[in-house]
Amino acid sequence: MSARILVAEDDPKQANLVRVYLEREGHSVLVVGDGRAALEQVRARRPDLVVLDVMMPVVDGLDVCRILRAESNLPILLLTARTTEDDVLLGLDIGADDYLTKPYSPRELAARVRALLRRAGVLSAGNQAVLRVGDLEVDPGRFEVRIGGRLVTLTAKEFGILEVLAGEPGRAFTRAQIIDRAFGFDHYVLERTVDAHVMNLRRKIEADPAEPRYVQTVFGRGYRLAEQPGVARSPEDAAAGADPSA
């Protein structure tokens, strides 16, 4: 199944390369050259995914990402020449689902786009059972999360992390394991990237993110989904060093 993708890139040569890469995958691609045009076209055409260059005239990619995330759950992939950890975490913190640092290969771009579209439900991943833990429901087929029947809107990466944890409640996953399973392909990702997504996830599903009932931190290991959300930890858990919020 093809998707409608908007690419915002001010470098014509780079924009054409991205367009060619994605059209080879069967997608319909619209290219714009600045952030203001990107916002206008997203609102007018409702694409399935947006690819944003961080450095753009008029309105830069980070501001476009921030505005789009406030308006919708649209999957967003950032393209950036900035490689520092702080730059990457800033993009994730304002709502980007993933990032690619330049230069990148056509295969890597295509893989990341496929993963984001699959998580967003645009590309079919086949029939999958609804995962239920207490009053939490994760429906991979519909890309939906509900808590006590209330629908919660997550980004593709937030959903992917929660899906991994909900698949085996009580199991502590390392950040590397979460990256491997939730991001959908093998690539280098900073482990702090997982922490940034988990922080955003907690803001959306927890009544008190500082005292999470669902996604808990296990010191020296990573994260787990509580088997019985809201139930106090056992002495064995405490001895193992599990902390809900760290």
Of 87, 77, 29, 103, give the one whose Cα is nearest residue 185: 77
In this predicted structure, what is the pLDDT of residue 105? 82
90-146: pLDDT as tens digits: 778 888 898 888 888 887 888 889 888 888 777 655 555 788 888 999 988 778 899
Task: Give the type of residue at 31.
Answer: V
Which DSSP state fits 54?
S
**Which sign does the torsion angle of CA 36, 72, 115, 225 carry?**
positive
Which domains occur in the chain, in start order?
A: 4-119 (3.40.50.2300), 131-243 (1.10.10.10)
CA–CA distance, 218 with 244 (Å, rounded to integer)? 7
pLDDT in tens, 65-92: 999 999 988 999 999 887 666 767 777 8
**Residue 229: band (very low, low, confident or very high) from pLDDT cuts 50, 70, 90:** low
Q: How far apart are CA 121 and CA 101, in angstroms?
A: 25
Hey, what amino acid is at 24?
Answer: R
